[in-house]
Amino acid sequence: MIRKLSAALVLVAFIVAASVLAVSRLAPPAEAQLFKQAPGSRAEVALSFAPVVKKAAPAVVNVYAQRVERQPRNPIFDDPIFQRFFGQQPGAQTAQSLGSGVIVDPTGLVVTNHHVIEGMTSVKVALADRREFPAEIVLRDPRSDLAILRIKSDEKAFPVLEMGDSDALEVGDLTLAIGDPFGVGQTVTQGIVSALARTQIGINDYGFFIQTDAAINPGNSGGALIDMNGRLIGVNSAIFSQSGGSVGIGFAIPVNMVKNVVAAAKNGGKEVRRPWLGASLQNLTRELAESVGLDRPAGALVTEVDPRGPAAEGGLKQGDVIVAVDGQEAADAGGVGYRLGAKAIGGTASLSVRREGKSVVVPLALIAAPEKPARDQIRIKGESPFAGATVVNISPATIEEFSIPNAKEGVAVVDVADNTPAAVVGFKKGDIIMSVNGTKIAATRDLDRAAAQQPYVWRLTVNRGGQVITSVIGG
């Protein structure tokens, strides 16, 4: 009975809906007549994105990167009898990566994502016309997830994609994404700017992304997001997906961040130097916003000011809330970081600040973080729990470069090699080693000497993300 009743209700609903549809077709509302109309000419019928694609596509390339990994080889593999029965055994494996890139200088400079070439030693670039060239890695900037390649060729007139202004974008603007998804070949997809200033994505240190619904898939990383004038407005970097394919939520690094990285490479730099704030920031909660007189949680709360830095010199104080940089809104700590990170060294920026319910403007000198003391980078060797860890001295520069906590003492772990004692123990990038067996570690050389000892047990004190941990190894 229930099934028949349900079927009858569906039938009635269908009849009513069909009647309504018929009436609407006979007498369309005035609103529909205003917004729906047939093309008025052949030119309107032929409207296409093709002219924009033809302008931009030649400057978008495919990037192929690889690394040969040598594997430990058992001597028995070289025995003629073994080879007779089992054949020649491989002694190496090749790791490969596929992505996209954009030519930004006629001499052959290509911008791509750092994660496309991370750890790779050999890179090849394929142009849209199918010509292939070897390329060298001239600059790596993992903080922004960008890298610059240089095509090895005598040709000095490569097609170039003009760079636009990502700060001029608005939600709803049309976009095209060009890249090499899944290695099928150059592909163009169309969409709009879905959102701006997306932070807390977790892809790089400057979490400030253009969100688009133009289809972006694996292999698109490093490719171009362009506007309707054929200008580069972003470098496609990541997608939000549970299946691995596009679901209409893609993220691109704004071109205004790309410009700094390209400029550094053109000037012969091996790294990108960015302005130093000299202060620690925290995102606002609703409660914190109310406590400082804001009607919404927009801005970054200053939790600590380094007395040596430009923020202190300009008059920034603990408890201030930074709401804009040079008049451009900064909705959170990531926004402030991006606004400063996209600026060049030199000159002054203006921080719009809320302080005790009043608006204040704080000048900020755009200077690089000093490397005092010198980093004195060391990779620990031997058989201690630290073997395989690379450590540096803590300074404003290393804190900025490696995104390590703003610790007052100890040495910072900036890399941990796989299959080493340090990896087995569980050391992570960003750990601050403070003491070993009761001895204070103030510099990398202190840790190197401590690691050379052979105690019965190791007592370690480590600062991980602001939490001090003491552990004992051995015994």
Report pLDDT digits (tens) over 291-323: 777 888 888 999 989 898 999 999 999 999 999
- Cβ partners under 8 Å of residue 372, min gap 6: 395, 396
Residues 249 and 301 in one domain: no
Q: Which has the minimum average pLDDT: 199-203, 224-228, 413-417, 421-425?
A: 199-203
- The two three-digit tokens of residue 41, written as one number: 């000419």
Q: Which two tokens stand for residue 474?
A: 């051995």
Give the pLDDT band of residue 15 (cuts 50, 70, 90): very low
Query: Per the domain annotation, does 176 fall within a domain?
Result: yes
Q: What is the mean pLDDT of residues 372-386?
A: 91
Peptide bond between residue 90 and the one before it cis (omega within 30 degrees of 0): no
Same domain, 360 and 385: no
354 and 325 together in one domain:
yes
Residue 29 reports pLDDT greater than 60: no
Higher-pLDDT residue of 243, 431 = 431
Determine, yes or no, domain membership for 108.
no
**242: confidence class by pLDDT, cuts 50, 70, 90:** low
The pLDDT-based confidence of 9 (bands split at 50, 70, 90) is very low
Query: What's the pLDDT score for residue 406?
Result: 66
Asked if residue 39 is part of any domain, the answer here is no
Q: Give domain status of residue 77, yes or no.
A: no
One domain for residues 257 and 308: no
Domain that holds residue 287: 279-365
Give pLDDT, residue 407. Answer: 74
**Within 13 Å, how many C-alpha atoms sit on residue 270's CB side?**
0
- Decide: 160 and 103 in contact? Cβ < 8 Å: yes
**310 and 387 share one domain:** no
Supply the CATH number for residue 342's domain.
2.30.42.10
Final residue belonging to a domain, choices 233, 266, 299: 266
**Residues carrying an active site annotation:** 115, 145, 221
Q: Summarize pLDDT for 77-135 with one digit per residue, the tens.
A: 555 555 544 555 455 566 677 889 999 999 999 999 999 988 888 899 999 888 999 99
Of the residues 234, 266, 298, which one is the last residue of a structural domain? Answer: 266
What pLDDT shows up at residue 243? 60
Per-residue pLDDT averaged across 368-375, rounded?
90
Residues 249 and 267: their CA atoms lie apart, in Å, by 35
- What is the CATH number for 209? 2.40.10.10
Identify the domain boundary among 266, 297, 324: 266
Same domain, 261 and 179: yes
The answer as to whether 346 is a domain residue is: yes
| pLDDT interval class at 37 (50, 70, 90) | confident
CA within 13 Å, CB half, 341: 25
Residue 338 within any structural domain of the chain: yes
Q: How confident is the model at residue 6 (pLDDT cuts 50, 70, 90)?
A: very low
Cα distances from 127 to residues 67, 97, 98, 246, 286, in angstroms, run 21, 17, 14, 24, 50
Highest mean pLDDT among 2-16, 71-85, 253-267: 253-267
- Lowest mean pLDDT of 59-73, 136-150, 353-367, name the range: 59-73
Helix (H/G/I), strand (E/B), else coil: 8? helix
Based on the fold, state whether residues 383 and 360 are members of the same structural domain: no
pLDDT given at position 206: 65
Burial class (CB in 10 A: 0-12, 13-18, 19+), 168: exposed
Spatial contact of 139 and 128, defined as CB atoms under 8 Å apart: no
Q: Are residues 309 and 240 in the same domain?
A: no
| pLDDT exceeds cutoff 90 at 208 | no
Q: Say if residue 293 is in the same domain as residue 261.
A: no
Task: Check whether residue 226 and residue 307 sit in a common domain.
Answer: no
**How many domains, the chain?**
3
Average pLDDT over residues 129-143: 91
φ and ψ of 269, to 5 deg: -75, 150
Identify how many contiguous H helices and E strands the chain contains and give both numbers.
13, 25
Looking at the structure, do residues 421 and 461 belong to the same domain, yes or no? yes
- The arithmetic mean of pLDDT across residues 157-162, rounded, is 92
What does the pLDDT average to over 380-400? 90
Q: How far apart are CA 264 and CA 370, in angstroms?
A: 18
Whether residue 245 sits in one domain with residue 306: no
Tell whether 66 is covered by a domain.
no
> Can you give the pLDDT at residue 245?
63
Can you give the pLDDT at residue 244? 62
In a domain, 37, yes or no: no
